[in-house]
């Protein structure tokens, strides 16, 4: 069933677990994600990068995500990931998103607050909640990614913007890590405490060692994002299939194995963050 961001985050808070948020890029990746959620009876978030909402892909992909969410036996939130401006956030609302991220993390602090607050107010008109970001989570290609979130800034940010949840910089980055990251678990705890237990979000979940993920969930991470590893699961399987002389040629048949690969990967993450069996 299609639900709001608040619905799944509340479930995670009450049940003391974490909602996995999977980035999808096309119908097949969305199918793999939904199959994983249904097989494990887990509430999940399906999210899309803002460039997809800017390009025509979002126009076609949004109805696919909505159809999958509405048909699913488990709660599914359709979320915009890293919305940089009101263009993407407003368009995503029109496309039916039930959760919005406004990422103003590269802006000066006060500008981040002002833009995020404006988007929170607009989203409130249509009953949608917002994820903000403070302390920039960069990419693994950056030379260093240590602009960590400060608990006292997080407190002010949450109070002034009214975000439902907050993405924090605590040692992760987007993409494939050159060496496994070590998370600042104490900082996660301190931000939780400073923000009156606001739900915290961990970006850059691909490649984070399982033990670090477990500790982060225990410390108060309520939403964790996975994108890069979904791409690898999908594309590596396509490449393997292409090597086989007896491969399927009809595209729908060819796609069956990549869909399964996405499903198998997502099941491992759902179990790791303790979301399995939590759909009721
Ligand atoms: P990864 O691509 O590193 O999994 O990060 C995903 C993410 O945080 C999306 O916002």
10-residue averages of pLDDT along the chain (280 residues): 98 98 98 98 98 95 98 98 97 98 97 98 98 92 78 98 98 92 97 98 97 98 98 98 94 97 98 96
Q: Is the CB of 83 under 6 A from ligand 1?
A: no
Length of the chain: 280
* Gap from CA of 139 to ligand 1 centroid (Å): 9
Evaluate: CB of 105 within 6 angstroms of ligand 1.
no
- Measured in Å, residue 12 CA sits from the centre of ligand 1 at 20
Backbone torsions φ then ψ of 204, nearest 5 degrees: 70, 40
pLDDT score recorded for residue 146: 63
pLDDT for 236: 98
For residue 229, indicate whether it is catalytic.
no
**140 CB near ligand 1 (under 6 Å):** no
Centre of ligand 1 to C-alpha 131, Å, is 15
Q: What is the pLDDT of residue 280?
A: 75
Structure tokens at 166: 């907050």
- The tally of CA atoms less than 13 A away on the side-chain side of residue 199 is 26
Whether the CA torsion 48, 108, 201, 101 is positive or negative: it is: negative
Whether ligand 1 lies within 6 angstroms of the CB of 23 is answered as yes
Question: How many Cα atoms within 13 Å fall on the side-chain side of residue 223?
Answer: 35
Cα separations in angstroms, 46 against 3, 99, 134, 185, 246: 11, 10, 22, 26, 33
User: What's the pLDDT at 214?
Assistant: 98
Tokens of 194: 């400073």
Q: Which of 204, 208, 224, 272 to mutate to test the pocket of ligand 1 (most atoms within 8 A of CB)?
A: 204
d(CA 230, CA 170): 22
What gap in Å lies between CA 206 and CA 265, rounded to an integer?
11
- Give the distance from CA 191 to its chain's centroid: 19
- The single residue of 81, 103, 184, 276 carrying the catalytic annotation is 81
As a whole number of angstroms, the distance between CA 12 and CA 137 comes to 23
For the chain, strand residue ranges (E) read 19-23, 44-48, 76-83, 99-102, 129-134, 165-168, 199-202, 221-226
Atom of ligand 1 nearest to the CA of 205: 4
pTM score of the predicted model: 0.97
Q: What is the 3-state secondary structure (H, E, C) of 57-95?
A: HHHHHHHHHHHHHHHCCCCEEEEEEEECCHHHHHHHHHC
Q: How far apart are CA 203 and CA 66, in angstroms?
A: 23
| Residue 133 CB less than 6 A away from ligand 1 | no
> Residue 100 has what pLDDT?
98
DSSP 8-state code for residue 34? H
Beta bridge partners of 200: 166, 221
Ligand 1 atom with the shortest distance to the CA of 137: 8
* pLDDT at residue 29, as a whole number: 98
Q: Tell me the Cα Rg of the chain.
A: 18
Nearest atom, ligand 1, residue 174 CA: 3
> 205: Cβ below 6 Å to ligand 1?
yes
Taking the C-alpha atoms of residue 98 and residue 7, their distance in angstroms, rounded to an integer, is 10
């Amino acid at each position: 069933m299609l639900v709001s961001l608040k619905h799944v985050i509340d479930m995670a808070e009450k049940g003391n677990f974490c909602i996995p948020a999977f980035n999808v890029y096309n119908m097949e990746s969305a199918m793999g994600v939904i199959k994983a959620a249904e097989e494990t009876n887990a509430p999940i978030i399906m999210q899309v990068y803002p460039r997809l909402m800017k390009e025509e892909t979002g126009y076609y992909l949004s109805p696919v995500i909505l159809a999958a969410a509405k048909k699913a036996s488990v709660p599914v939130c359709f979320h915009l990931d890293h919305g940089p401006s009101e263009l993407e956030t407003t368009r995503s609302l029109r496309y039916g998103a039930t959760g919005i991220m406004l990422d103003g993390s590269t802006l000066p602090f006060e500008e981040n607050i002002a833009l995020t607050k404006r988007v929170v107010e607009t989203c409130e008109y249509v009953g949608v909640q917002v994820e903000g970001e403070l302390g920039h989570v960069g990419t693994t290609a950056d030379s260093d990614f240590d602009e960590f979130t400060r608990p006292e800034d997080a407190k002010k940010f949450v109070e002034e913007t009214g975000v439902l949840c907050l993405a924090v910089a605590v040692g992760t980055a987007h993409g494939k890590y050159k060496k496994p990251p070590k998370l600042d678990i104490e900082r996660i705890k301190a931000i939780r405490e400073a923000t009156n237990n606001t739900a915290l979000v961990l970006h850059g979940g691909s490649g984070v060692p399982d033990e670090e993920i477990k500790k982060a969930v225990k410390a108060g991470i309520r939403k964790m994002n996975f994108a890069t590893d979904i791409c690898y699961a999908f594309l590596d399987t396509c490449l393997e299939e292409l090597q086989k002389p007896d491969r399927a040629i009809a595209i729908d048949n060819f796609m069956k194995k990549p869909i399964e690969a996405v499903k198998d990967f997502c099941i491992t993450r759902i179990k790791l963050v303790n979301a399995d069996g939590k759909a009721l």
